[in-house]
Structure 1
Amino acid sequence: MARESQRAKRERAVEICRRMGELYPDAQSALSFSNPFELVICVMLSAQTTDAAVNRVTPELFRRWPDAQSMAGTDPDEVGEVIRTIGFWRAKAQHCVEASQIIVSDFGGEVPRTMEELTKLPGVGRKTANIVLNKAYGVVDGIAVDTHVYRLATRFGLTKAPTPLAAEQDLLKILPHELWGSVNEQWIHFGRDTCTARAPKCAGCPMADICPSAGQPDRYTKQRKTK
């Protein structure tokens, strides 16, 4: 694809989102949660781990510690025993307890409602904060860029950023605000179904005619290996 103008890139990005909306009009999170506290813990635990793996440990986790007050007073080793089947469980157990302590001491036991306050919690970065704000409070303050969104944004030619955090800023510049909230879930579904990490299904892909990486399945992998 020849070098495109910023305007053309914006129009292509909007068209990608339009098609995503048609493919996944009711895209929902695969994580199981029932309140903001459970959501922030679930998203924190999901880093470098599948949602299915998180859903297997959270029923017992929330049975024993259903809120920030109860989790704040426990030993991280006890939390670790419950979540030890997921990746990086020791660090995540520590973050669960420390984040709960801050929620209790600084926010009266309620999960905060701003990006600045959420990212003060251990284990919570912009991606997690964006998801919590969007799903728990209906606040769209950015785009949650996880590995799926980052991979797709790179393959779609919408960013050359070296990190998901930097890629978010590129997406925010080219997508209108009203589209930000739907990107994460819709693109995750597309990344799992079609534009997979190792073997993207370019043949028959509904984005193939506007994707500069169509027919070049190793483009993303090669870029990642050079970093």
Structure 2
Amino acid sequence: MSMGLRGKRTLSSKIEINKDEISVQDTKKKRKHLTIKADPDKNSNCSVWEPSNWQQVIDYVRTMRQDLPAPVDDMGCDQAADRNEAPEVIRFHILISLMLSSQTRDEVNYAAMQRLKQHGLTVDKILETSDENLGKLIYPVGFWKRKVEYIKRTTRILKDNYNSDIPNSVKDLCQLPGVGPKMAHLCMSCAWNEVTGIGVDTHVHRISNRLGWVKKTTKTPEDTRKELEAWLPRDLWQEVNHMLVGFGQTICRPIGPHCVTCLCKNICPSFQQNSSPIKKK
């Protein structure tokens, strides 16, 4: 009887061990089944789109910009501020210069900024200035009457909400009257030395479409900004605005672009197309 019991116990133990082994094996099978491995083929299909020859285009544009100075180099928004003033006043100068720059040539904008600085370009001084006098100071910048209103309202907000300084975020800058995404990103870069996005104006918008730097033709500068930020390396975001604006002022002009003398002509989609105005001519 004792032998029989010992045999049964042994058999029972084996059965229990086998159950444990089966349980462990099942667990291993489940874990193996849930393992997710990267598929290199699928990842390659998800690569970010980028235009062809864009690095070469940038090298060419840099070369042309070095040899041919543009108004933006000496009279751009970042050049209009008085660097001898207090930091918050310098930032205010940059913001006002950006607000005046819309639909205005750099030369006209720069001259208006000189008159404003001579008058006294501080938050308190602008609030003391009548709308009529402010209009005389900034005329003939584009839409000067509307900009008088924007500047006065914005200055009041800076006085009441930001201790006479400017906001330090794109979101808050865009809440100011007359300030859009382009101005906000440029202001963050020039005033706060923080790169938050690409400042896309009419020059950058036009040239990006001519060069094929967007997957499909964009209708607004904001659409162009999103397209560029999707593929252009972030370390180029700060440079690209200044570089393309100067390029647009000197060579890739809105009317009568100097395509024949442009180093990019052999790799520029716009020049290669029959619709190119210079090629027709």
TM-score by length of structure 1 reads 0.85
Matched positions, count: 216
Report the CA distance between 1:97 and its aligned residue.
0.9
Paired AA for residue 233 in structure 2:
P
Q: Retained in 2: the 8 A contact 1:200–1:217?
A: no
Most deviating of 108-117 and 168-177: 108-117
Contact kept in structure 1, 2:61 and 2:263, CA below 8 Å: no
Q: 1:116 to 1:7 in 2, by over 3 A?
A: closer
Counterpart of 1:80 (choices 135, 152, 159) is: 135
Deviation at 1:7, TM superposition (A): 5.5
Q: CA separation in 2, counterparts of 1:142 and 1:218?
A: 32
1:61 alignment partner AA:
L
Aligned-residue Cα RMSD (Å) equals: 2.4
Instruction: State the alpha-carbon separation in 2 of the partners of residues 18 and 8 from structure 1.
Output: 20
Mapped contact 1:130–1:142 kept (Cα < 8 A): yes
Q: CA deviation at 1:56?
A: 1.7
- One-letter amino acid of the structure 1 residue matched with residue 239 of structure 2: S
Q: Which of 166, 175, 182 lines up with 1:120 in the alignment?
A: 175
Kindly provide the amino acid, as one letter, of the partner of residue 235 in structure 2. Answer: E
How far apart are the structure 2 equivalents of 1:6 and 1:151?
Answer: 26
Q: Are 2:194 and 1:139 aligned?
A: yes
Counterparts of 1:96-111 in structure 2 under 5 Å?
Answer: 96-111=151-166
Sort the Cα spacing of 1:97 and 1:28 in 2 relative to 1 into closer, same or farther, 3 A: same
Normalising by structure 2, we get a TM-score of: 0.70
Q: Deviations over 1:170-189 (max 9, x none)?
A: 00001010010001111011
Aligned mates of 2:190, 2:61 — CA distance in 1:
19
Percent identical residues:
27
The CA deviation string for residues 127-153 of structure 1, in whole angstroms up to 9 with x for no partner, is 111111111221111111111111100
Work out the CA distance in 1 between the residues paired with 2:98 and 2:112: 13
Gapped runs of 5+ residues in structure 1? 221-227
Bigger Rg over Cα: 2
Q: Secondary structure at the match of 1:213?
A: helix
Tell me what 1:182 maps to: 239
- Which residue pairs with 1:71 in the alignment? 126
Matches of 1:75 and 1:142, distance apart in 2: 35
Paired amino acid for 1:136: A
Which runs of no fewer than 5 residues in structure 2 stay unpaired?
1-45, 83-89
Shift of 1:55: 1.7
Q: Which moved more, 1:75-84 or 1:164-173?
A: 75-84
* Letter aligned with residue 33 of structure 1: A
Q: Report if aligned partners of 1:158, 1:171 keep a CA contact under 8 Å in 2.
A: yes
Contact (CA 8 Å) 2:169, 2:188: kept in 1 or not?
A: yes
1:68-118: CA deviation from partner (whole Å, max 9, x where unpaired): 222134332321122222221100111111111111111111112211111
Q: Which amino acid aligns with 2:251?
A: T
Mapping of 1:1-227 within 5 angstroms?
A: 9-10=50-51, 12-24=53-65, 28=73, 30-31=75-76, 32-34=80-82, 35-159=90-214, 160-216=217-273, 218=275
User: Bigger CA drift: 89-98 or 192-201?
Assistant: 192-201
Distance change (3 Å), C-alpha of 1:76 and 1:173: same
For 1:6 and 1:154, the matched residues in 2 are separated by 22
CA distance in 2, matches of 1:216, 1:192: 22
